[in-house]
C-alpha cells in the first residue's frame, strides 16, 4: 500500500512541470510526481531527486494514493483534450474536498466549464495562470489562481512558498472564482504581446530608420533598462541583440526568420475584448502584426509586385547622419515606447474591469499589478505605479486618468507624435505606436466623428440617433421630406 505523504502532486513532467516540481520540493513541500511515460519521472528523480522530497509514482492510482488530504494535484499537461482527459482521470480517483489545479494556459471559458463539472462532483477545480516560462517555474513564477476560497486555504501557502518575491511579498494572490485566474493570465499575455511589439517597433526605427547596428541598439536598450522602462522584456531584448550567431558570425537577429509565432493567448485576449466591447487596440495590433509577419505568400507577392513606398534610410537621413539629431530621436522613441506601453496596460486593465463585471468576479486590480511585479514575463518597474494607481480601492476608470500616468503621457506626447509622424513618412510600420496614439486622441476628443456614423446608419438602416439637445431616439425621413420623428 502506498503511504499518503505528499502535500502536493504534479502530473506532467515536461519542462514546465519538472521545473515546478523542483521548485516545490526545494521549498519544503513533499511532491508526488507522475508522468505518462515513467522514464521522465525517473530522469527527474535521477537528476534532481536530492533537491527535496519527491514521491515518484508509476501509475495515476499510486500518485493519488501518495497524496495527503485534501489531495492537491497540479496538472501540467498539454492544453485541450489531454487536460480534459487528465482532469477526468484524477476526479475518478479523488474524493470530495480534493483539489485539481490546471496550471496550463487554458482558455478561461474552458476553465469555467471544467470548474462547474468538477464542483458538481464535490471536488475543487482551480484554473491557475502561471507566468515566467521554465526559469520562472523553477526559480519563482508569478501565479494567478482562480477557484474557491476553500481551495485557496490549502493551495495558497503552497503557491506562496514557490512564487517570486518582490519586497518580501509573494507574487501570487487568489484572483477570484472559477475562470478568473486564467482570464487574468490571458490579459497578461495580451499585454505581453503589445509590450514585445512596441519594443520591436523601437528596434525597427533604430535599425532601418537610423541605420544602427544591433550591438549599438542593444546598448540603447541597456540604457533604457536603467530608467522608467526597466523591465524583463527590455533586458532580454538587449541580450538577444548582443548575441552573435556562432555558425555565421553574424548578429543573431539577422539570421532569424522574421515570422513571429503565437500559441493563441493574445488572440483570445482580443476576441474576448471584442465580446466585451473594450478597445484593446495595442494588443490587437500586436496580434495582427505577428499575423502579417507570418504571411509569407502575401509578403513575397508584395515583394514581387514591388509595392512602392519611401526608403526609410533615405527619408531619415537627416537624423541618421547628425549625432545630436539622432540622439534626440532615440529619446523620442523611448518616450513613444513608454507612452504606448502605458496605453496597452490601461487597455488591458480596462478589459479586466469589464470582464469582472460580466463574469461576476471581484478583481483586485492593485493586487494583480503587485503580483506582476516579479516572476512573470511582463515584470517591470512601472507596475509599482499601477498598483499605486489602484491602491486602497481606487478605480481610476482608465490608468490614463491616474495623475502619475496622465503626466507621464503628457510629457511623452510631443516625442510620441514626432515618432509616429517620422515613421509614417519613412514607411516604417508602427502599428502599436500609431494605434495607441489614436486611442489616446480618441479618448480626449470632445467630439468624435461617430456622429457622422450615426447619421449614415440612420440614413441607410433607420437605426436612429440621439440628439445633443434632448433625450430619446430620433429618425430622419431621409427619402421623404427629411423631417425628423421621435421614436417611442
Ligand atoms: C508566460 C508566457 C507564456 C507564453 C509564452 C509564449 O507568461 O510565461 O506568456 O505563458 O506561453 O510567452 O506565448 P506565444 O507563443 O503566444 O508567444
- Residue length, the chain? 488
Question: Is 225 annotated as contributing to ligand binding?
Answer: no
Q: How far is the CA of 189 from the centre of ligand 1 (A)?
A: 6
- Using an 8 Å Cβ cutoff, are 67 and 9 in contact? yes
The reported pLDDT for the residue numbered 431 is 98
> Taking the alpha carbons of 8, 13, 15, 18 in that order, is the dihedral positive or negative?
positive
Residue tagged 420623428 (cell numbers): 485
> What are 216-239's pLDDT values in tens digits?
999 999 999 999 999 999 999 999
Q: Which of 115, 185, 201, 285 is catalytic?
A: 185
Q: Tell me which residues have their CB closer than 6 angstroms to ligand 1.
A: 105, 131-133, 189, 192, 261-263, 265-266, 376-377
Look at residue 195 and tell me whether its pLDDT is greater than 80.
yes
The reported pLDDT for the residue numbered 488 is 82
Residue tagged 515583394 (cell numbers): 303
Q: How far is the CA of 122 from the centre of ligand 1 (A)?
A: 32
* 185 noted as active-site residue: yes
Q: How far is the CA of 367 from the centre of ligand 1 (A)?
A: 21
Q: Which residue of 19, 79, 105 sits with most ligand 1 atoms within 8 Å of its CB, as the best mutation to test the pocket?
A: 105
Q: Where are the domains of the chain?
A: 8-177, 185-444, 449-487
The reported pLDDT for the residue numbered 392 is 66
Look at residue 288 and tell me whether its pLDDT is greater than 80.
yes
- Using an 8 Å Cβ cutoff, are 100 and 124 in contact? yes
Stretch 387-396: mean pLDDT, rounded? 83
- Lowest-pLDDT range of 1-5, 86-90, 179-183: 1-5
Stretch 476-483: mean pLDDT, rounded? 98
Residue whose Cα lies nearest atom 7 of ligand 1: it is 131
Percent of the residues in the chain that have a pLDDT greater than 90, as a whole number: 97
The reported pLDDT for the residue numbered 391 is 86
Stretch 99-121: mean pLDDT, rounded? 96
User: Which pTM does this prediction carry?
Assistant: 0.96
The reported pLDDT for the residue numbered 372 is 98
The CATH class that applies to domain 8-177 reads alpha beta
Residue tagged 495582427 (cell numbers): 288
Q: Which of 42, 69, 134, 192 is catalytic?
A: 192
The reported pLDDT for the residue numbered 1 is 67
The reported pLDDT for the residue numbered 395 is 81
Distance CA 367, CA 174 (A): 9
CATH of domain 449-487: 1.20.5.320
Look at residue 282 and tell me whether its pLDDT is greater than 90.
yes
Three cell numbers written together for 22 = 523542483
Stretch 298-326: mean pLDDT, rounded? 95
Residue whose Cα lies nearest atom 10 of ligand 1: it is 131
Question: Is 189 annotated as contributing to ligand binding?
Answer: yes
Confidence of residue 2 (pLDDT cuts 50, 70, 90): confident
Three cell numbers written together for 116 = 462547474
Which atom of ligand 1 is nearest the CA belonging to 192? 9
Percent of the residues in the chain that have a pLDDT greater than 70, as a whole number: 100
* Nearest of 105, 124, 288, 100 to residue 184 by alpha carbon: 105
Look at residue 3 and tell me whether its pLDDT is greater than 70.
yes
Distance CA 443, CA 343 (A): 11
Long-range CB contact pairs, 242-250, < 8 A, 24+: 242/214, 242/215, 242/218
Question: Is 350 annotated as contributing to ligand binding?
Answer: no
Query: Cis bond leading into 70, ω under 30°?
Result: yes
Based on its alpha-carbon atoms, the radius of gyration of the chain, rounded to whole angstroms, reads 26
The reported pLDDT for the residue numbered 185 is 98
CA 342 to chain centre: 14
Stretch 368-395: mean pLDDT, rounded? 92
Q: Which residue of 78, 132, 133, 266 sits with most ligand 1 atoms within 8 Å of its CB, as the best mutation to test the pocket?
A: 133
> What are 421-430's pLDDT values in tens digits?
999 999 999 9
Q: How far is the CA of 229 from the centre of ligand 1 (A)?
A: 21
The CATH class that applies to domain 185-444 reads mainly alpha
* 192 noted as active-site residue: yes
Question: Is 133 annotated as contributing to ligand binding?
Answer: yes
Average model confidence (pLDDT) for the chain? Answer: 97
Amino acid at each position: 500500500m502506498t503511504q499518503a505523504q505528499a502535500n502536493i502532486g504534479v502530473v506532467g513532467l515536461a519542462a514546465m512541470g519538472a521545473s515546478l516540481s523542483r521548485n516545490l520540493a526545494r521549498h519544503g513541500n513533499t511532491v508526488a510526481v507522475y508522468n505518462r511515460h515513467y522514464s521522465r519521472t525517473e530522469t527527474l528523480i535521477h537528476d534532481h531527486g536530492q533537491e527535496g522530497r519527491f514521491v515518484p509514482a508509476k501509475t495515476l492510482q499510486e500518485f493519488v494514493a501518495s497524496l495527503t488530504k485534501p489531495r492537491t494535484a497540479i496538472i501540467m499537461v498539454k492544453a485541450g483534450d489531454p487536460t480534459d482527459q487528465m482532469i477526468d482521470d484524477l476526479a475518478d480517483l479523488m474524493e470530495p474536498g480534493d483539489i485539481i489545479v490546471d496550471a496550463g494556459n487554458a482558455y478561461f471559458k474552458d476553465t469555467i466549464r471544467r470548474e462547474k463539472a468538477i464542483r458538481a462532483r464535490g471536488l475543487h477545480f482551480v484554473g491557475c495562470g502561471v507566468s515566467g516560462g521554465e526559469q520562472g517555474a523553477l526559480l519563482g513564477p508569478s501565479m494567478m489562481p482562480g477557484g474557491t476560497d476553500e481551495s485557496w486555504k490549502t493551495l495558497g501557502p503552497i503557491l506562496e512558498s514557490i512564487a517570486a518575491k518582490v519586497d518580501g511579498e509573494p507574487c501570487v494572490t487568489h484572483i477570484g472564482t472559477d475562470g478568473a485566474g486564467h482570464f487574468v493570465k490571458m490579459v497578461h499575455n495580451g499585454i505581453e504581446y503589445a509590450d514585445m511589439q512596441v519594443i520591436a517597433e523601437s528596434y525597427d526605427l533604430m535599425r532601418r530608420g537610423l541605420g544602427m547596428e544591433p550591438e549599438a541598439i542593444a546598448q540603447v536598450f541597456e540604457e533604457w533598462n536603467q530608467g522608467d522602462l526597466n523591465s524583463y522584456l527590455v533586458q532580454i531584448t538587449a541580450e538577444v541583440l548582443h548575441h552573435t550567431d556562432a555558425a555565421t558570425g553574424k548578429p543573431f537577429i539577422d539570421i532569424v526568420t522574421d515570422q513571429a509565432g503565437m500559441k493563441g493567448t493574445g488572440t483570445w485576449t482580443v476576441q474576448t475584448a471584442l465580446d466585451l466591447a473594450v478597445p484593446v487596440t495595442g494588443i490587437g495590433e500586436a496580434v495582427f502584426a505577428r499575423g502579417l509577419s507570418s504571411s509569407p505568400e502575401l509578403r513575397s507577392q508584395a515583394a514581387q509586385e514591388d509595392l512602392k513606398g519611401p526608403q526609410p534610410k533615405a527619408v531619415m537621413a537627416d537624423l541618421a547622419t547628425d549625432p545630436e539629431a539622432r540622439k534626440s530621436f532615440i529619446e523620442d522613441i523611448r518616450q513613444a515606447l513608454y507612452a504606448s506601453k502605458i496605453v496597452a496596460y490601461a487597455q488591458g486593465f480596462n478589459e479586466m474591469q469589464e470582464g469582472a463585471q460580466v463574469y461576476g468576479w471581484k478583481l483586485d486590480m492593485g493586487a494583480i499589478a503587485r503580483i506582476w511585479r516579479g516572476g512573470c514575463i511582463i515584470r517591470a518597474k512601472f507596475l509599482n505605479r499601477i498598483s499605486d494607481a489602484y491602491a486602497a480601492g481606487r478605480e481610476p476608470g482608465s490608468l490614463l486618468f491616474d495623475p502619475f500616468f496622465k503626466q507621464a503621457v503628457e510629457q511623452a506626447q510631443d516625442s510620441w507624435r514626432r515618432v509616429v509622424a517620422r515613421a509614417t513618412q519613412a514607411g516604417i510600420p508602427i502599428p502599436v505606436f500609431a494605434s495607441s496614439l489614436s486611442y489616446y486622441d480618441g479618448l480626449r476628443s470632445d467630439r468624435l466623428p461617430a456622429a457622422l456614423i450615426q447619421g449614415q446608419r440612420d440614413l441607410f438602416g433607420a437605426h436612429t440617433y440621439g440628439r445633443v439637445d434632448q433625450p430619446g431616439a430620433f429618425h430622419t425621413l431621409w427619402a421623404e421630406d427629411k423631417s425628423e420623428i421621435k421614436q417611442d
